[in-house]
Amino acid sequence: MMNNQDLRQFAPACARNSEPILAVLNDHLPKDQKINVLEIAAGTGEHAVFFASNFPHAKWQPTEFNQEAHKSIQAWIDHSQVSNILPPIGLDVCQHPWPINKVDVVLAINMIHISDWSCTEGLMKGAGNHLSSDGLLYLYGPYKREGKHTAESNVDFNSWLKERNPKWGIRDMEEVISEAAKHGLEHQKTEEMPANNFSMVFKKLS
């Protein structure tokens, strides 16, 4: 039976943060070179089609831990007709090895604070294992700096997260950087983003 239902989900945050994130990616990702990009926690799939369409030389692999979300990601791919994006695959950052070969870029947007700390450890381990030499890990989300929230709104957001799951929460940037270093991922840059978020870029050492 034909399914004419539009299965695309919409996350308001994606509409707000896509352009600012693209501006940072433009500074760090090669525009005219074939690269393999692995997107962790692709969520609705909106980011995947938006970024893949802006990096036509990239082969974009969206992944999502929640199998139910694959329907929306696939619907976004089908609707956009962007050709350099692969069907979504399941990926739990804590399960190693990840079901992929080497990649040039790993992206994880808004995952670290909405998952257990063990997921950050798993993310760093997986990125360290699967990134090629000089490959990049890009993170986006809210962080604490030297143990302190960077805005009052993040204090409230942190409480909201902890009510949902006591193991979730806004992480210390310095702890994330030190976890990355354990897996050969060198911190390159932290950039302030709108709405008290940050971009963080790491490079896989040779």
Query: Interface residues with ligand SAM (CB under 6 A)?
Result: 11, 13-14, 40-41, 43-44, 64-66, 91-94, 109-111, 114-115, 119
User: 94 or 181: whose CB is closer to ligand SAM?
Assistant: 94
CA 183 from chain centre, in angstroms, equals 18
User: 17 or 36: whose CB is closer to ligand SAM?
Assistant: 17
User: 26 or 66: whose CB is closer to ligand SAM?
Assistant: 66
How far apart are CB 156 and ligand SAM at their closest, in Å?
A: 17
- Left (φ > 0), alpha (ψ -120 to 50) or beta: where does 65 sit? alpha
Q: Which long-range contacts (CB under 8 A, 24 or more apart) does 95-102 make?
A: 95/122, 96/122, 96/125, 96/126, 96/129, 97/126, 97/129, 97/130, 98/38, 98/126, 98/129, 98/130, 100/38, 100/61, 100/130, 101/130, 102/36, 102/130, 102/131, 102/132, 102/135
How far apart are CB 149 and ligand SAM at their closest, in Å?
A: 19
State how far the Cα of 89 lies from the Cα of 91, in Å rounded to an integer: 6
How far apart are CB 65 and ligand SAM at their closest, in Å?
A: 4
User: 114 or 177: whose CB is closer to ligand SAM?
Assistant: 114
How far apart are CB 116 and ligand SAM at their closest, in Å?
A: 8
User: 39 or 104: whose CB is closer to ligand SAM?
Assistant: 39
How far apart are CB 189 and ligand SAM at their closest, in Å?
A: 20
Q: Nearest to ligand SAM by Cβ — which residue?
A: 43
